A = this chain, B = another copy of it.
Amino acid sequence: MADGARMVEVRPETYSYVFNPYREPIARVEPGDRVVIHTDDAFESRITKKEDIPSRALATAKLLNPQTGPIYVEGAEPGDTLAISIESIEPSRDFAVSVLVPYFGGLTSTNFTRTLQEPLPERVWVWNLVDGGNRLVNEDLGVELDWEPFMGTLAVAPDLEAITALAPGPFGGNMDVPDVRPGNTVYLPVWNEGALFYTGDCHARQGQGELCGVALEITSKVTVVFDVIKGKEIEWPRIESDERIMVVGSARPMEDAARIAYAELVLWLEEEHGFDRWDAYQLLTQAGGLYVGNMVDTTYSLVASIDKTYLRS
Protein backbone atom coordinates (compact mmCIF):
# COMPACT_ATOMS: atom_id res chain seq x y z
CA MET A 1 0.00 0.00 0.00
CA ALA A 2 1.24 3.45 -0.85
CA ASP A 3 2.08 5.66 2.10
CA GLY A 4 0.00 8.37 0.53
CA ALA A 5 -3.14 6.29 1.06
CA ARG A 6 -6.31 8.01 2.15
CA MET A 7 -7.09 7.57 5.82
CA VAL A 8 -10.68 6.74 6.84
CA GLU A 9 -11.70 6.58 10.49
CA VAL A 10 -14.63 4.40 11.55
CA ARG A 11 -16.11 5.18 14.95
CA PRO A 12 -19.37 3.30 15.56
CA GLU A 13 -22.43 4.88 17.14
CA THR A 14 -23.97 1.52 17.89
CA TYR A 15 -22.61 -1.97 17.64
CA SER A 16 -23.81 -5.06 15.85
CA TYR A 17 -24.08 -8.34 17.71
CA VAL A 18 -24.54 -10.39 14.58
CA PHE A 19 -22.63 -10.67 11.31
CA ASN A 20 -25.54 -9.35 9.38
CA PRO A 21 -26.02 -8.92 5.62
CA TYR A 22 -29.13 -6.79 6.24
CA ARG A 23 -27.59 -4.03 8.35
CA GLU A 24 -26.81 -0.66 6.73
CA PRO A 25 -23.09 0.00 6.22
CA ILE A 26 -21.64 2.45 8.73
CA ALA A 27 -18.77 3.40 6.40
CA ARG A 28 -17.72 3.00 2.79
CA VAL A 29 -14.08 2.63 1.88
CA GLU A 30 -11.98 2.02 -1.19
CA PRO A 31 -9.43 -0.74 -1.57
CA GLY A 32 -6.11 0.82 -0.60
CA ASP A 33 -7.55 3.19 1.98
CA ARG A 34 -5.94 3.07 5.38
CA VAL A 35 -8.98 2.31 7.54
CA VAL A 36 -8.81 3.05 11.26
CA ILE A 37 -11.51 1.19 13.16
CA HIS A 38 -12.49 1.76 16.79
CA THR A 39 -13.56 -1.35 18.65
CA ASP A 40 -14.98 -2.00 22.09
CA ASP A 41 -14.12 -5.08 24.13
CA ALA A 42 -16.15 -8.28 24.23
CA PHE A 43 -18.07 -7.10 27.31
CA GLU A 44 -18.72 -3.60 25.96
CA SER A 45 -16.50 -2.27 28.77
CA ARG A 46 -18.87 -3.45 31.50
CA ILE A 47 -16.11 -5.20 33.42
CA THR A 48 -13.13 -3.07 34.39
CA LYS A 49 -12.00 -3.96 37.89
CA LYS A 50 -11.21 -6.96 40.01
CA GLU A 51 -14.27 -6.48 42.19
CA ASP A 52 -16.74 -6.72 39.32
CA ILE A 53 -18.92 -9.84 39.28
CA PRO A 54 -19.21 -10.95 35.68
CA SER A 55 -22.69 -12.46 35.82
CA ARG A 56 -23.99 -9.31 37.47
CA ALA A 57 -22.12 -6.89 35.22
CA LEU A 58 -23.43 -8.72 32.18
CA ALA A 59 -26.96 -9.29 33.47
CA THR A 60 -28.31 -6.22 31.71
CA ALA A 61 -26.37 -6.86 28.51
CA LYS A 62 -28.58 -8.54 26.01
CA LEU A 63 -25.71 -9.61 23.86
CA LEU A 64 -21.96 -9.95 23.89
CA ASN A 65 -19.05 -9.27 21.58
CA PRO A 66 -20.04 -5.91 20.01
CA GLN A 67 -18.84 -5.50 16.44
CA THR A 68 -17.95 -2.40 14.50
CA GLY A 69 -19.52 -2.64 11.07
CA PRO A 70 -20.47 -3.37 8.47
CA ILE A 71 -17.87 -1.51 6.43
CA TYR A 72 -18.66 -1.50 2.73
CA VAL A 73 -15.61 -2.11 0.54
CA GLU A 74 -16.14 -0.63 -2.90
CA GLY A 75 -15.84 -3.09 -5.74
CA ALA A 76 -16.25 -6.26 -3.70
CA GLU A 77 -18.84 -8.62 -5.15
CA PRO A 78 -20.04 -12.14 -4.48
CA GLY A 79 -17.44 -14.59 -5.74
CA ASP A 80 -14.48 -12.33 -4.91
CA THR A 81 -12.05 -12.62 -2.04
CA LEU A 82 -11.49 -9.82 0.46
CA ALA A 83 -7.89 -9.34 1.61
CA ILE A 84 -7.42 -7.54 4.91
CA SER A 85 -3.87 -6.36 5.64
CA ILE A 86 -3.55 -5.62 9.32
CA GLU A 87 -1.24 -2.67 9.92
CA SER A 88 -1.56 -2.04 13.62
CA ILE A 89 -3.61 -2.53 16.77
CA GLU A 90 -3.32 0.21 19.37
CA PRO A 91 -4.89 0.07 22.82
CA SER A 92 -7.36 2.81 23.71
CA ARG A 93 -7.08 2.23 27.46
CA ASP A 94 -4.21 1.20 29.70
CA PHE A 95 -5.40 -2.21 30.84
CA ALA A 96 -6.87 -5.51 29.65
CA VAL A 97 -9.34 -7.75 31.46
CA SER A 98 -10.07 -11.44 31.58
CA VAL A 99 -12.81 -13.12 33.57
CA LEU A 100 -14.45 -16.41 34.47
CA VAL A 101 -18.08 -16.39 33.35
CA PRO A 102 -20.36 -19.18 34.67
CA TYR A 103 -20.64 -22.15 32.29
CA PHE A 104 -18.29 -20.66 29.71
CA GLY A 105 -14.76 -21.76 28.91
CA GLY A 106 -12.63 -24.79 28.14
CA LEU A 107 -12.54 -26.55 31.51
CA THR A 108 -16.15 -26.26 32.55
CA SER A 109 -19.43 -27.68 31.34
CA THR A 110 -21.24 -25.26 29.04
CA ASN A 111 -24.50 -24.65 27.19
CA PHE A 112 -23.28 -27.15 24.62
CA THR A 113 -21.53 -29.71 26.80
CA ARG A 114 -24.18 -29.87 29.50
CA THR A 115 -23.77 -31.39 32.92
CA LEU A 116 -25.67 -31.03 36.19
CA GLN A 117 -22.60 -29.67 38.03
CA GLU A 118 -22.25 -26.31 39.72
CA PRO A 119 -20.37 -23.60 37.80
CA LEU A 120 -16.77 -22.59 38.49
CA PRO A 121 -16.30 -19.52 40.72
CA GLU A 122 -16.46 -16.09 39.07
CA ARG A 123 -13.26 -14.09 38.83
CA VAL A 124 -11.85 -10.96 37.21
CA TRP A 125 -8.21 -10.36 36.36
CA VAL A 126 -7.05 -6.87 35.42
CA TRP A 127 -3.77 -6.75 33.52
CA ASN A 128 -2.12 -3.34 33.38
CA LEU A 129 -0.13 -2.17 30.41
CA VAL A 130 3.39 -1.28 31.53
CA ASP A 131 6.79 -0.72 30.03
CA GLY A 132 5.52 1.79 27.48
CA GLY A 133 2.77 -0.53 26.40
CA ASN A 134 5.09 -3.41 25.64
CA ARG A 135 4.07 -5.64 28.50
CA LEU A 136 1.12 -6.49 30.72
CA VAL A 137 1.24 -7.29 34.38
CA ASN A 138 -1.28 -8.81 36.77
CA GLU A 139 -0.47 -8.50 40.42
CA ASP A 140 -2.28 -11.62 41.60
CA LEU A 141 -0.38 -13.80 39.20
CA GLY A 142 2.86 -11.89 39.56
CA VAL A 143 3.54 -12.50 35.89
CA GLU A 144 4.47 -10.18 33.04
CA LEU A 145 3.44 -11.00 29.49
CA ASP A 146 4.37 -9.42 26.17
CA TRP A 147 1.93 -7.20 24.30
CA GLU A 148 1.06 -9.31 21.25
CA PRO A 149 -2.25 -7.92 20.07
CA PHE A 150 -4.62 -9.42 17.51
CA MET A 151 -8.22 -9.20 16.42
CA GLY A 152 -10.29 -11.91 18.11
CA THR A 153 -13.13 -11.29 15.67
CA LEU A 154 -13.16 -10.22 12.05
CA ALA A 155 -15.74 -11.24 9.49
CA VAL A 156 -17.66 -10.61 6.36
CA ALA A 157 -21.43 -10.88 6.37
CA PRO A 158 -22.58 -14.41 5.49
CA ASP A 159 -24.80 -15.22 2.55
CA LEU A 160 -28.43 -14.77 3.70
CA GLU A 161 -27.77 -15.68 7.30
CA ALA A 162 -27.24 -13.24 10.18
CA ILE A 163 -25.02 -15.05 12.65
CA THR A 164 -24.13 -14.27 16.25
CA ALA A 165 -20.85 -12.41 16.71
CA LEU A 166 -19.84 -15.19 19.11
CA ALA A 167 -19.48 -17.65 16.22
CA PRO A 168 -16.51 -18.43 14.01
CA GLY A 169 -17.10 -19.97 10.59
CA PRO A 170 -16.34 -19.80 6.86
CA PHE A 171 -17.04 -16.07 7.12
CA GLY A 172 -14.24 -15.61 9.67
CA GLY A 173 -15.98 -14.35 12.79
CA ASN A 174 -15.01 -15.02 16.35
CA MET A 175 -12.05 -17.26 15.48
CA ASP A 176 -9.81 -16.11 18.34
CA VAL A 177 -6.72 -16.99 16.35
CA PRO A 178 -3.55 -15.12 17.40
CA ASP A 179 -2.29 -15.03 13.80
CA VAL A 180 -4.91 -12.41 12.96
CA ARG A 181 -2.28 -9.85 13.93
CA PRO A 182 -0.40 -6.81 12.61
CA GLY A 183 1.86 -7.74 9.74
CA ASN A 184 -0.40 -10.52 8.50
CA THR A 185 -3.06 -10.57 5.79
CA VAL A 186 -6.38 -12.34 6.22
CA TYR A 187 -8.45 -13.54 3.25
CA LEU A 188 -12.22 -14.01 3.48
CA PRO A 189 -14.85 -15.12 0.93
CA VAL A 190 -17.24 -12.40 -0.31
CA TRP A 191 -20.98 -13.19 -0.46
CA ASN A 192 -22.44 -9.66 -0.50
CA GLU A 193 -21.93 -6.46 -2.48
CA GLY A 194 -19.32 -4.48 -0.60
CA ALA A 195 -18.23 -7.57 1.34
CA LEU A 196 -19.71 -6.01 4.55
CA PHE A 197 -16.79 -6.25 6.93
CA TYR A 198 -17.10 -6.43 10.71
CA THR A 199 -14.48 -6.46 13.44
CA GLY A 200 -14.14 -6.23 17.23
CA ASP A 201 -12.98 -8.19 20.24
CA CYS A 202 -9.32 -7.23 20.12
CA HIS A 203 -6.98 -9.03 22.48
CA ALA A 204 -3.75 -7.80 24.04
CA ARG A 205 -2.64 -11.40 23.71
CA GLN A 206 -3.92 -14.95 24.14
CA GLY A 207 -2.60 -18.45 24.53
CA GLN A 208 -3.51 -21.21 22.09
CA GLY A 209 -7.01 -22.47 22.85
CA GLU A 210 -8.15 -19.33 24.76
CA LEU A 211 -8.54 -21.73 27.65
CA CYS A 212 -10.90 -19.99 30.09
CA GLY A 213 -12.87 -18.49 27.20
CA VAL A 214 -11.76 -14.90 27.73
CA ALA A 215 -8.46 -13.53 26.42
CA LEU A 216 -6.87 -10.23 27.50
CA GLU A 217 -9.75 -8.11 26.31
CA ILE A 218 -9.05 -4.55 25.21
CA THR A 219 -10.67 -1.57 23.58
CA SER A 220 -8.61 -0.58 20.61
CA LYS A 221 -7.94 1.25 17.39
CA VAL A 222 -7.24 -1.10 14.52
CA THR A 223 -5.67 -0.03 11.22
CA VAL A 224 -6.28 -2.20 8.18
CA VAL A 225 -6.06 -1.88 4.39
CA PHE A 226 -8.49 -3.78 2.18
CA ASP A 227 -7.87 -5.30 -1.19
CA VAL A 228 -10.38 -7.09 -3.41
CA ILE A 229 -9.22 -10.10 -5.41
CA LYS A 230 -11.71 -10.27 -8.26
CA GLY A 231 -13.14 -13.61 -9.29
CA LYS A 232 -11.21 -15.62 -6.76
CA GLU A 233 -13.34 -17.90 -4.63
CA ILE A 234 -12.17 -19.41 -1.37
CA GLU A 235 -14.16 -21.56 1.05
CA TRP A 236 -12.59 -20.81 4.42
CA PRO A 237 -10.46 -18.00 5.94
CA ARG A 238 -6.82 -17.92 4.95
CA ILE A 239 -3.97 -16.05 6.61
CA GLU A 240 -0.59 -15.13 5.23
CA SER A 241 2.40 -14.01 7.26
CA ASP A 242 5.94 -13.37 6.12
CA GLU A 243 6.84 -16.95 6.97
CA ARG A 244 3.73 -19.06 6.53
CA ILE A 245 0.42 -19.61 4.77
CA MET A 246 -2.45 -20.78 6.93
CA VAL A 247 -6.08 -21.90 6.81
CA VAL A 248 -8.53 -21.60 9.71
CA GLY A 249 -11.13 -24.35 10.03
CA SER A 250 -13.97 -23.98 12.56
CA ALA A 251 -16.25 -26.86 13.52
CA ARG A 252 -17.30 -29.33 16.22
CA PRO A 253 -16.06 -31.84 17.12
CA MET A 254 -12.53 -30.46 17.04
CA GLU A 255 -11.26 -33.11 14.62
CA ASP A 256 -13.68 -31.75 12.02
CA ALA A 257 -12.04 -28.33 12.36
CA ALA A 258 -8.64 -30.00 11.87
CA ARG A 259 -9.90 -31.83 8.79
CA ILE A 260 -11.30 -28.65 7.25
CA ALA A 261 -8.14 -26.64 7.89
CA TYR A 262 -5.78 -29.23 6.45
CA ALA A 263 -8.05 -30.25 3.53
CA GLU A 264 -8.28 -26.63 2.42
CA LEU A 265 -4.51 -26.27 2.73
CA VAL A 266 -3.96 -29.38 0.59
CA LEU A 267 -6.19 -27.88 -2.10
CA TRP A 268 -4.43 -24.51 -1.84
CA LEU A 269 -1.04 -26.17 -2.40
CA GLU A 270 -2.49 -28.07 -5.34
CA GLU A 271 -4.18 -25.10 -6.98
CA GLU A 272 -1.64 -22.37 -6.47
CA HIS A 273 1.69 -23.93 -5.67
CA GLY A 274 2.06 -26.67 -8.23
CA PHE A 275 1.91 -29.70 -5.98
CA ASP A 276 0.21 -32.92 -6.94
CA ARG A 277 -2.64 -33.46 -4.43
CA TRP A 278 -0.99 -36.44 -2.78
CA ASP A 279 2.40 -34.76 -2.65
CA ALA A 280 0.72 -31.83 -0.91
CA TYR A 281 -0.83 -34.27 1.56
CA GLN A 282 2.63 -35.75 2.13
CA LEU A 283 4.33 -32.38 2.59
CA LEU A 284 1.80 -31.30 5.22
CA THR A 285 2.20 -34.63 6.99
CA GLN A 286 5.92 -34.05 7.47
CA ALA A 287 6.10 -30.27 7.79
CA GLY A 288 2.66 -28.82 8.51
CA GLY A 289 1.66 -26.93 11.65
CA LEU A 290 -1.65 -27.39 13.49
CA TYR A 291 -2.54 -25.42 16.58
CA VAL A 292 -5.76 -24.70 18.42
CA GLY A 293 -6.98 -21.11 18.17
CA ASN A 294 -10.05 -21.51 20.36
CA MET A 295 -11.52 -24.46 22.24
CA VAL A 296 -14.30 -22.39 23.79
CA ASP A 297 -16.50 -20.74 21.15
CA THR A 298 -19.63 -21.99 19.38
CA THR A 299 -17.30 -23.95 17.13
CA TYR A 300 -13.60 -24.65 17.66
CA SER A 301 -11.02 -22.95 15.40
CA LEU A 302 -7.85 -24.74 14.32
CA VAL A 303 -5.06 -23.29 12.22
CA ALA A 304 -3.19 -25.45 9.70
CA SER A 305 -0.03 -23.96 8.20
CA ILE A 306 3.03 -24.56 6.09
CA ASP A 307 6.25 -22.56 5.88
CA LYS A 308 6.66 -20.61 2.66
CA THR A 309 10.20 -21.96 2.26
CA TYR A 310 8.72 -25.25 1.07
CA LEU A 311 6.48 -23.69 -1.55
CA ARG A 312 7.21 -23.52 -5.23
CA SER A 313 6.74 -20.17 -6.95
Contacts and interface: CB of A to CB of B under 8 A. Distances in A.
B258 A113 contact: no
Contacts of A302: 292
Given A114-B107, A255-B254, A281-B107, A208 B291 contact: yes
A286 B145 contact: yes
A266 B116 contact: yes
Contact of A161 (B163, B258, B304): B163
Given A108-B117, A262-B209, A290 B287 contact: no
A207 interface: yes
B163 A277 contact: no
A141 interface: yes
B163 A259 contact: no
Contacts of A119: 117
A258 B209 contact: yes
Given A262-B106, A290-B292, A254 B251 contact: no
A207 B288 contact: yes
A212 B259 CA distance: 11
Contacts of A164: 160-161
Given A258-B106, A262-B106, A300-B255, A206 B285 contact: yes
Contacts of A289: 207-208, 291
A215 B285 contact: yes
A260 B281 CA distance: 26
A286 B113 contact: no
Interface of A: 17-18, 20, 22, 63, 98, 100, 106-109, 112-121, 123, 125, 127, 138, 140-143, 145, 160-164, 205-216, 251-256, 258-260, 262-263, 266, 275-279, 281-292, 295, 300, 302, 304, 310, 312
